[in-house]
Structure 1
């Protein structure tokens, strides 16, 4: 396995695919009001499962393609690195796309999420806080910049967890006979 193929082409290809699919999925769910809508737990669960399914499929296909190009061999560590880099590239693209959506396409997106959360809190018997009385760090958590950073961080955590699973599934070592 010393003369293995470089991973850069596989990472670029699948990272771009993952990023573009992530952007399209984010735009569709945001425009349909399925994202950040705390009134529907079922839509949140379905959205989460679809996101995980997309990521798993992309990581699986990327490592499988590399394994095929590398004479059918793929070490666990290299498979994990491929998943991590694909997740990193896809996460950057997705978070930039989400930021552009919230900042320029639908600037009221964050306000609608805050409004839905306040309504849910009132339905549960709580009192909605006055937005002007929130501390500065809480106000920062309601900005497109924070949503973009949190999207990227969640993509990295997902790449680590799913990358370990996919690497374990797609690894293939040389068979040695003694």
Structure 2
């Protein structure tokens, strides 16, 4: 049996590492009450990009220096799914168990922002808040977090795999 690494094993390893990094960063944001800070939320994309790059490079190195575009895409999608599973599960755990008042504070902050902008009437703000609260159930929160991470990870994998891939010159090797 050959000693070639698999995309699943590499994706599992780096998906777990990336997911744990996302959870740690989320804890920092929750602790500092900066979850609505858009600039700091962009760091999440950096963590995911870093995990994808390192995971694909490790796979390519362990695979004799070669990785096809399809292997990179598959690895990236699986890595993103694992990282999304961990970070979404933690988010639901945090907002439902550790800090059940978190969602109410977010709704209050969103309401204040809408009122400060002055572009919507009170009825429109109430309606927007009502719609927002419909999507805050733990199941939907988990599903949207997981699917969002997978979608973003697949898009990023499309780009990253194009740069990291290295095909064999002889396809029969």
TM-score range, shorter chain: 0.7 to 0.9
In the alignment, what sits opposite 1:84? 77
Greater shift in the superposed pair: 124-133 or 11-20: 124-133
Question: CA shift at 1:135, angstroms?
Answer: 9.6
Report Cα offsets for 1:29-74 as digits up to 9, x if no partner: 12212113xxxxxx303322x1111111100100100111110010
Question: CA shift at 1:127, angstroms?
Answer: 3.9
Question: CA shift at 1:15, angstroms?
Answer: 0.9
In the alignment, what sits opposite 1:40? none
Give the direction of change, closer, same or farther, for the CA distance of 1:148–1:128 in structure 2 (3 Å limit). Answer: farther
* 2:35 paired with 1:35: yes
Root mean square deviation of aligned Cα: 2.5
In the alignment, what sits opposite 1:166? 160
Question: CA shift at 1:124, angstroms?
Answer: 1.6
1:98 partner SS: helix
Q: Which runs of 5+ in 1 are unaligned?
A: 37-42
* Equivalent residues, number: 168
Q: What is the TM-score with the length of structure 2 in the denominator?
A: 0.86
1:1-150 equivalences in 2 (<5 Å): 4-36=4-36, 43-48=37-42, 50-125=43-118, 126-129=120-123, 138-150=132-144
Q: What is the TM-score with the length of structure 1 in the denominator?
A: 0.84
Q: Which runs of 5+ in 2 are unaligned?
A: none
Q: What is the distance in 1 between the residues matched to 2:71 and 2:18?
A: 19
Does structure 2 retain, via aligned residues, the 8 Å contact 1:110–1:144? no
In the alignment, what sits opposite 1:39? none
Does structure 2 retain, via aligned residues, the 8 Å contact 1:73–1:173? yes
Greater shift in the superposed pair: 109-118 or 25-34: 25-34
